[in-house]
Each structure stands twice: as C-alpha cells, then as structure tokens.
Structure 1
C-alpha cells in the first residue's frame, strides 16, 4: 500500500504529459481514469483501482522537476514501462536492471518525462 493518497503534477505541456503517462503507465496496469477540461487548465487522473496521480494543466513557469517511482508487479512490467515511456517521447535515464546500490532485489528503470521529471518503475521482489 502506498503512503500517499495521491500525487499531483502541474505542467505547462498538458497534452504531451498526458500522452507520455498514458503510454508509460499502461504496462503497470495504471490507466487514465478521467480528463476534465477547465478554463484554467485541464486535469487528467490516473490510477489502477482509484485515481492516485493527477496531471494538472497550468500556466506560468515550468514546474521544478521531481522524482516519481511507480510500483511494478514484476520485472516484465518494468521493462515494458521503460519501452513504452521512451517510445512516448521520454528520455532514457537508466535501462531496466538490478540496482544493487539500493538492494539486491531492486529492479528498476528510469525515464525523464516531457517536463523533466525522473520517472521510475520498480519491482522490489525476487523473481
């Protein structure tokens, strides 16, 4: 279970971010649940059973990048996440593999999204 109820990302590139997260998160079983078009900027909600990630359109300066790690259910999901994220315009920031500097079973991949956020898919189990 996540320690967060939800996470919100503000972006000045809503269409690009929606496309990226739709492709990157689908292999993890995370899908876009809704989109609401609002005058001040649209909102897209993503999740498995419930919405836990909001992508919010905003005007103004580009938000400060951050790191998001999504829990994968197995190593295959990590690999398909990475391929989908890169094909959707993300920049490779670490191919799928074991990260022994974290621990011996930490299997992850990293991609930079259209706004510069470091997005990770991780499976922390034996396989």
Structure 2
C-alpha cells in the first residue's frame, strides 16, 4: 500500500501530459478516471481503483520537475511501461534493467515526461 493518498502535478502542457500518462500508465493497469475543466484550469485524475494522481493546469507558473515511481507487478510491466512511454513522446532516461545500486532485485525503467518530470516504473521482486 502506498504511503501517499495522492500526488498532484502541475503543468503548462496539460493536453500533452494527459495523452502521455494515458499511454504510459496503461501497461501498469492505471487509467484516466476523469477530466474536469474548471475556470481556474483543467484537472485530470488517474488511478487503478481510485484516483491517486492528479494532473492540473499551472497557469502563470512553470512548475519544478519531480520524480515519481509507479509500482509494477512484474518485469514485463516495467518493459511495457517504458515502451509505451517512449511511444507516447517520453524521453528515455534509463532502459529497463536491474539497478543494483538500490538492491539486487530493483528492476526499473525511467522516462522524462512532456513537462520534464522523471517517471519510473519499478518491480522490486524476483521473477
């Protein structure tokens, strides 16, 4: 279980970010649950069973990029995430593989999203 209830990202590229996350997170079983267009800016919600990731307009500001890691169920999901994220316009920031600097079973892939955030899919088990 996550220690977070939810995470919110702000972006000046909301349409691009929605398209990217819809494609990149699909292999992990994460989908867009809603989009609301509000006077102060739109917001999209993503999750599996419930919304845990919000992406909203950052009108009048340029947000600082963040790092997020999404839990994968196996190594194949990590590979599928990486491929989908690259196909959706992400920039490779680390191909799928073991990251032994963390521990011997840390299998992850990294992609930079359209807003400059470092997005990771990770499986921390053994196949």
| Distance (Å, rounded) in 2 between the aligned partners of 1:96 and 1:47 | 23
Q: Which residue of 2 aligns with 1:42?
A: 42
Secondary structure (helix, strand or coil) at the match of 1:102 reads coil
| Distance (Å, rounded) in 1 between the aligned partners of 2:81 and 2:62 | 25
Whether the 8 Å CA contact 1:62–1:115 is kept in 2: the answer is no
Whether the 8 Å CA contact 1:72–1:78 is kept in 2: the answer is yes
Secondary structure (helix, strand or coil) at the match of 2:119 reads strand
Secondary structure (helix, strand or coil) at the match of 1:76 reads helix
Query: How far off is 1:86 after superposition?
Result: 0.5
Query: How far off is 1:61 after superposition?
Result: 2.5
Q: Which residue of 1 aligns with 2:71?
A: 71
Matches for 1:107-126 after TM superposition, within 5 Å = 107-126=107-126
Matches for 1:1-127 after TM superposition, within 5 Å = 1-127=1-127
Runs of 4+ in 1 over 3 A off after TM superposition: none
Secondary structure (helix, strand or coil) at the match of 1:82 reads helix
| Distance (Å, rounded) in 1 between the aligned partners of 2:60 and 2:84 | 29
The TM-score, its normalising length taken from structure 2, stands at: 0.98
Query: How far off is 1:58 after superposition?
Result: 2.0
Segments of structure 1 that go 5 or more residues without pairing to the other structure are none
Segments of structure 2 that go 5 or more residues without pairing to the other structure are none
Output the aligned Cα RMSD: 0.6
The TM-score, its normalising length taken from structure 1, stands at: 0.98
